[in-house]
Structure 1
Amino acid sequence: MTQHPPVVMGAGLAGLTTALALAPLPCLVLSPAPLGEGSASGWAQGGIAAALDDADSTALHAADTLAAGAGLCDEEAVDAITAEAPGAVDWLSALGARFDREPSGRYALGLEGAHSRHRIVHAGGDGSGAEVLRAVVAAVRATPSITVLAGVRARRVVTCDGVVTGVVVQDEAGTTRLVPTTQVVLATGGVGGLWRHTTNPLGAQGQGLALAARCGAELRDLEMVQFHPTALDVGCDPMPLVSEAVRGEGAVLVDASGRPLVRDSLAARDVVARAVWEHGSSGAQAYVDARSAPGPAFASHFPAVARACVAAGIDPARDLVPVRPAAHYHCGGVKVDLCGRTSVPGLWACGEVASTGLHGANRLASNSLLEAVVTGRRVAADLRESGPVELAAVPAAPASDACAVPPEPTADELAALRQTLGRWVGVLRDGQGLARATTALQDEVSARGVTGTPDAQLVAMLVSASALARRESRGGHLRRDHPWTAQPALHTTVRLGPEGTLTTLRTPVRTRTEPVRTPA
């Protein structure tokens, strides 16, 4: 009987953390791009939220997270992940991540939207994601138990009798093969590339959600797409990000005449994004005014933002910086427990593709890199504890079906899809538009079949249908026709049937019941 190592899909921060935390146990990491490239983790300008100051506490961090999540957070998950935040920062520092520090040697802590304390650990001002990923990639390359297949991506999770038995992978030449395994970790990132305006890599099209949906996993709160209110609006695709930390240093959102657009430029992201969107709906331009905060020192504080501005002919120390909302982070995803287990035996998920319950309806700034590290380590701990299943004990998938994969969307199909989601499933939504988008997407899935529908269209249908089912406004989901917030708060849980039938349920939000377990 043969045992095969876990397969980790994705080489961003969550996936590589899982692989490192598994060492010295072997694992296989699938990296669609060269290692360290093409990951949203490396694009993150914001840092990692952690209660490290004497005036702060993990309880306050948890409270801020719950407030931003607008009633959809899993309180146990919030408690667990925020409690492990200081340890996650120290773990990354031990790997070699060069975080910004005070002259005393303590971490330099920044302030971002909806945080009640300075608790954002940065690296290189606004280069936190790149620095963290650099350190993690270096550690992976120095770890012999980790095998990285670059230029290879997962196209299908194979199951037999509802249990994972393998992964179909595809290389850049289009060749597919079956990799046997009974332990698969989804760490594939988000969905931002499905929207016309996004700050994500354009390849972020929800592939992990499609993989999970096709093998019967439960997906949760897919409608909760967070739009960052301040993407640099100079015609780039994807759009450079003007970090929230810029407003944390005193910059303000203004109109063309310099009048403030919002009372609090550091309010929760959904609040600020809505204000900027509504201002732009009449054709007006919104701006970030950073001329006096930090003013002439802008380039040294925020080098990535400064480079993007200079490339567009903008000097942030003298000019207003044009911005607009853009799809930035997916708060929903594959439903998992505190160990990262999905509803399918043998399938785990961590990072942005997962719905852990940390973000709820609206992610608190700089909780994403934190979640990637903490949940990646938790998944590794659970993999160690559960151990691999001997494949001889699991029936193999039929050979004729083993390597079937869905088609890729054409460039025209993808462009039309991005326009559809941008128009009908954007910052502000209504039932008529959502019904139009959902019906068109469901008709396409019905016509092409689940296996014949490209991942992008399948995921867009699931997101749109989830948004149509939530008849209220909460967090990142804003309905013109249902502007109120319903009580009690309920999750939107969906499951895709083999024939394309969609089961949608409204399920209760879990509250604290017992102390959470923290892995060693």
Structure 2
Amino acid sequence: MNKMEVIIVGSGIAALKTAIEASATKHVMLITKSKLRHSNSYLAQGGVAVAMSKEDTPISHREDTIQAGRYYNNATAVEALVQTAPVAISELIASGMEFDRNSEGHLMLGMEGAHSERRILHSHGDATGKYIIEHLLRELALSKVEVMEDTAVVELIMGDDASCIGVKIVNHEGHLQTMCGEHIVLATGGCGSLFQFTSNASTVSGDGIALALKAGARIRDMEFIQFHPTLLYCNGKTQGLVSEAVRGEGAKLVTESGKAIMKDVHALADLAPRHIVAQTIYSYIERGENVYLDISMISNFRERFPTVAALCLKNGIHLEEGKIPVAPGNHFLMGGIETDGKGRTSVEGLYAVGEVACTGVHGANRLASNSLLEGLVFGSTLGRYLQQAPQRVLPQEKKTLKKTSPGLITLPELADIQKHLMHYAGIVRNAKDLGRLKAWLESFQIDCLLELACENASIHELAKVNAIIVSWLIAESALARQESRGGHFRSDYPIENDAVWLDTSIILDRHEVIKRLKGSVVYEFIKA
């Protein structure tokens, strides 16, 4: 059995930053089920939020973050993010990372929704994520980090003391291998590709969350999902992201007739918090009215937003007409695997960082351009923590009975799961729809899926198993939170009422999931 000191699963900004920092003293293996450049971080058009101007302060950044998060944020995590941000960005620039500057050589700071100051750094206009990842990959190449691409982690190995001691992987040739590690880090991103309309990379499918739940880790706040207001919308499908920075430069959301839809909805109009803009656009589309971004006032659009321009060109959108058709779609998960300030989960030896982790920093709705920042700041924090971690003596592997697939059950295709999740747990939710989704998911015997051994299923089957488990976590959490707050909007509780907000977090671990499943009508029917 191969043994490493640190095993990191993922290839986004949080994974790379953790690996680079930890490798200063530890032998690190980075495993990704696709390629190093295939991640949400690489696709990120938006920038990095940081208080660096004379007019701005970390305090202002903190207040904007908490207000966007609908006051559900973990205050300690927010403080760590905003106070560390200037240092983290300064270190990045000092190491050679280039952000856009004006003709005088000063950093250009953009404006995005729900920010009170211009504090968004960009690189090459709307390709910030790509250029940060390329910069980190150059640093990674100089480190001693080993990399395994096209390799899927299909199971976490548990010790007889209930700690995490390794991973089971399937390589590109289909061979199952076992690798032990003193510290296992999940940096697998959120679950965006489980939704029919999404800005996420196809690989971001919730695998890390399902792996952690099966291992006994606590999962929280899965109801809080951010839907980005503006995905390119053609022929009934979303085709990619149209950056919020476009609205930051003056673009307006309008109907076919030119009506400005955000004018009387919020004081910040088109730069209102994302959940408000997304819900407004959705309401028009539901009534059969298409919504567009009017970009006619941006004179140098192709130069300012080359990535968006290329996306439009690829899909036959003529920018000369000054309108880009848009629709909202899944963008970011605020919930995930519960961690502390160091990245530790409730399972010894298991860590999580980036979007897959839930530190509480984003609250109920992430502030624009805090995601790349989160990966940099908390990836660095975890990496430096692992640098100093003492050697861990691993216990014996826990011996468990191998479980086979549930009898007489045919799992749905991923496309069916995506449609169900988008329709019943999308931008607008209610108890009836969530109940239908939950019952449909439970019909696939989730309790058995939690016990399924990776040796008894193909990669394709395991992907569907994980999708069902994570979709159930979303449905159960959304049903339990009987209020509207941030990214979680329920039409049966339509008013955000800060006087009576529920302060209770929806936290689910393996034991709690089984308990709730056994209490369901569907479970009793199947067992009968």
Give TM-score, length-normalised by structure 1: 0.91
The farther-off stretch of 118-127 and 168-177 is 168-177
Residue 35 of structure 2 is aligned to residue 34 of structure 1 = yes
Match of 1:388 in 2: 391
Gap change, CA 1:480 and 1:499, over 3 Å in 2: closer
- Aligned position for 2:245: 245
Measured at CA, do residues 157 and 221 of structure 1 come closer, stay the same or move farther in structure 2, by a change above 3 Å?
A: same
Q: CA deviation at 1:385?
A: 2.8
| CA–CA separation in structure 1 for the residues paired with 2:100 and 2:227 | 27
Matches within 5 A, 1:394-473: 394-398=395-399, 413-446=413-446, 448-452=448-452, 454-473=465-484
1:267 maps onto 2:246 in alignment: no
For residues 471 and 21 of structure 2, what CA distance do their matches in structure 1 show? 33
Distance in 2 between residues matched to 1:355 and 1:44, nearest whole Å: 20
What amino acid maps onto 2:145 in structure 1? I
Check the 8 A contact 1:183/1:388 in 2, yes or no: no
List per-residue Cα deviations over 1:36-84 (Å, max 9, x = no partner): 2x20000000000000101000010000000000021001100111111
After TM superposition, give the deviation of residue 438 of structure 1 in Å.
Answer: 0.9
Contact (CA 8 Å) 1:3, 1:390: kept in 2 or not?
no
In 1: Cα distance, 2:237 partner to 2:257 partner = 27
In structure 2, distance between residues paired with 1:210 and 1:388: 28
Please tell me whether residue 179 in structure 1 is matched to residue 182 in structure 2. Answer: no
CA distance in 2, matches of 1:221, 1:42: 25
- SS of the aligned residue for 1:76 comes to helix
1:239 aligned counterpart, secondary structure: strand
Query: How far is 1:412 from its partner?
Result: 5.7
Shift in Å, 1:328: 0.6
Deviation (angstroms), 1:450 = 1.2
Deviations 1:296-346 (A, max 9, x none): x10000000011112222233433110000001111111111111111111
Q: Which amino acid aligns with 1:185?
A: V
Q: Deviations over 1:240-262 (max 9, x none)?
A: 11110000000000011111011
Shift of 1:266: 0.2
Root-mean-square deviation (CA, aligned residues, Å) is 2.3
Q: 1:61 & 1:12 partners in 2: Cα distance?
A: 24
Mapped partners of 1:301, 1:499: distance in 2? 48
Unaligned stretches of 5+ residues in structure 2? 264-268, 453-461, 519-528
Residue 87 of structure 1: how far off its partner (Å): 1.7
Which amino acid in 2 is paired with 1:131? Y
CA spacing shift, 1:444–1:500, aligned 2, 3 Å: farther
**1:479 matches 2:478:** no
1:308 lines up with 2:311 in the alignment? yes
Rounded to whole Å, the distance in 1 between the matches of 2:513 and 2:425 is: 25
Give the partner amino acid of 2:110: G
The answer to whether the 8 Å contact 2:157/2:397 transfers is no
Of the candidates 479, 485, 492, which is equivalent to residue 506 of structure 2?
492
Gaps of 5+ in 1: 505-520
State the SS of the aligned residue for 1:491: coil
Matched, 1:51 2:51: yes
2:39 and 2:203 in contact (8 A); partners too: no
Which residue type is aligned with residue 396 of structure 2?
Answer: P
The 10-residue stretch of structure 1 (435-444 or 221-230) with the greater mean CA deviation from structure 2? 435-444
Instruction: Provide the C-alpha distance between the structure 2 equivalents of 1:343 and 1:108, rounded to a whole number of angstroms.
Output: 41
Provide closer, same or farther for how the CA distance between residues 151 and 48 of structure 1 changes in structure 2, counting only shifts above 3 A: same
Number of residue pairs the alignment of both structures matches:
495
Kept after mapping to 1: 8 A contact 2:251/2:295: yes
Aligned counterpart, 1:509: none
Pairing 1:290–2:295 present: yes
1:359 aligns with 2:362: yes
